[in-house]
C-alpha cells in the first residue's frame, strides 16, 4: 500500500535526504587514484554522526556497512572495503541511506576516478544521470508509473545501453523500501496513477552491455554478467501539487 506523505512529513524526509546529499558530496573527494572504498565509508560515517543521523543500510537485511560502493562492473551493493583501491578511469557508484528523526533519505551517484574516461564510459555516465532527470520530469500527479520507466528507458536505450531489470526504484520516507516499485522501464500511460504526496526514490541503474546480472560469493555484490561497466544515479523526490521536488539535493 502506498503511503501518501503530509507536507510536514515531506520536510522531514528532505532533512534526511539532504544528509545523504552531503555524504555524497564529501565522498567525491575520495574518488581518486589510490584511495579506497573504505575511505569513503569512514567519511560517510563521520558526516552522518555529526548530523545526528543513523546509517539506514547498516543492518538492513543483514547488510554490514554504511555505504554501498560499487566499481566498474559492480552495479549495486558493493562492499566498501580497504582492499577496494581505486584506479585511474574507474567508475565508482556510491549509494547511501540515512535515518533522521524516524524518516529516511536514500540517494546514489557515480563518480569517475581521475581525469581520463573513454568515450563510451563518459556517455554511460552522462546518459544515466540524464535518464534520472527525464524520469523526474514526468513524476507529476496525473501521470503513471510507466511514464517514469518509459522516460528512463528511452533515454538509456537510445544511446545503446541497457537498463537493469532485476532492481528498481521504490517508495521511500518512513521505510527504506516502500510501495510502489519504480521500474526503470515501462510503457507510457501504464501502471499506478501518480498522486500528490507520493515520495519516490528514482534510480536508474544502467549497464554499458547487457542487463543480465549475477551476485558474487559475498552474497551482496551484484555485477553485470558480461562484466560490462555500470553507472547508478538516484534522487528522492516528492510529488507536489506544482510538480516534482527533488529532496536529496544540497
- Report CA dihedral (237, 213, 92, 40) to the nearest 10 degrees: 80
Q: State the cell numbers at 225.
A: 554478467
Helices (H) and strands (E) in the chain, counts: 4, 15
The alpha helices in 28-179, defined as continuous H runs, are 37-50, 119-137, 145-157
- Largest interatomic CA distance in the chain: 48
Residue 232 counted as an annotated binding residue = no
What is the helix (H) or strand (E) element at residue 22, kind and residue range? helix 7-27
Tell me the C-alpha distance between 8 and 17, whole Å: 14
**How far lies 37's CA from each of 1, 9, 228, in Å?**
36, 33, 20
> Is 210 marked within a binding site?
no
Rounded to whole angstroms, what are the CA distances from 63 to 121, 185, 217?
29, 27, 14
Cell of 194: 501518480
The reply to whether 77 sits in an annotated binding site is yes
Residue 203 marked in a binding site: yes
Query: Is residue 90 part of an annotated ligand binding site?
Result: no
Nearest to 110 by CA among 221, 27, 173: 27
Instruction: Evaluate whether 230 touches 219 at the Cβ level (below 8 Å).
Output: no
> Has 28 been labeled as part of a binding site?
no
Residue list for the binding site: 77, 95, 106, 170, 177, 203, 234
Residue list for the binding site for a divalent metal cation: 95, 106, 170, 203, 234
Residue list for the binding site for substrate: 77, 177
Amino acid at each position: 500500500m502506498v503511503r501518501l506523505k503530509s507536507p510536514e512529513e515531506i520536510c522531514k524526509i528532505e532533512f534526511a535526504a539532504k544528509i545523504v546529499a552531503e555524504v555524497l558530496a564529501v565522498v567525491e573527494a575520495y574518488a581518486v587514484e589510490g584511495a579506497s572504498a573504505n575511505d569513503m565509508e569512514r567519511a560517510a560515517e563521520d558526516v552522518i554522526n555529526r548530523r545526528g543521523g543513523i546509517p539506514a543500510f547498516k543492518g538492513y537485511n543483514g547488510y554490514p556497512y554504511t555505504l554501498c560502493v560499487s566499481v566498474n562492473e559492480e552495479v549495486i551493493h558493493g562492499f566498501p572495503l580497504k582492499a577496494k583501491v581505486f584506479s585511474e578511469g574507474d567508475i565508482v557508484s556510491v549509494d547511501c541511506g540515512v535515518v533522521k528523526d524516524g524518516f529516511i533519505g536514500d540517494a546514489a551517484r557515480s563518480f569517475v576516478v581521475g581525469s581520463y574516461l573513454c568515450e563510451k564510459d563518459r556517455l554511460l555516465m552522462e546518459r544515466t544521470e540524464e535518464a534520472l532527470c527525464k524520469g523526474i520530469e514526468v513524476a507529476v500527479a496525473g501521470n503513471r508509473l510507466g511514464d517514469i520507466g518509459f522516460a528512463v528507458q528511452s533515454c538509456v536505450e537510445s544511446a545503446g545501453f541497457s537498463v537493469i531489470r532485476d532492481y528498481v526504484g521504490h517508495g521511500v520516507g518512513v521505510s527504506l523500501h516502500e510501495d510502489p516499485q519504480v521500474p526503470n522501464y515501462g510503457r507510457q500511460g501504464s501502471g499506478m496513477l501518480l498522486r500528490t504526496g507520493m515520495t519516490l526514490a528514482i534510480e536508474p541503474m544502467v549497464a554499458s552491455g547487457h542487463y543480465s546480472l549475477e551476485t558474487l560469493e559475498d552474497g551482496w555484490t551484484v555485477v553485470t554478467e558480461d562484466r560490462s561497466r555500470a553507472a547508478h544515479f538516484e534522487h528522492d523526490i516528492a510529488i507536489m501539487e506544482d510538480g516534482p521536488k527533488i529532496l536529496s539535493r544540497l
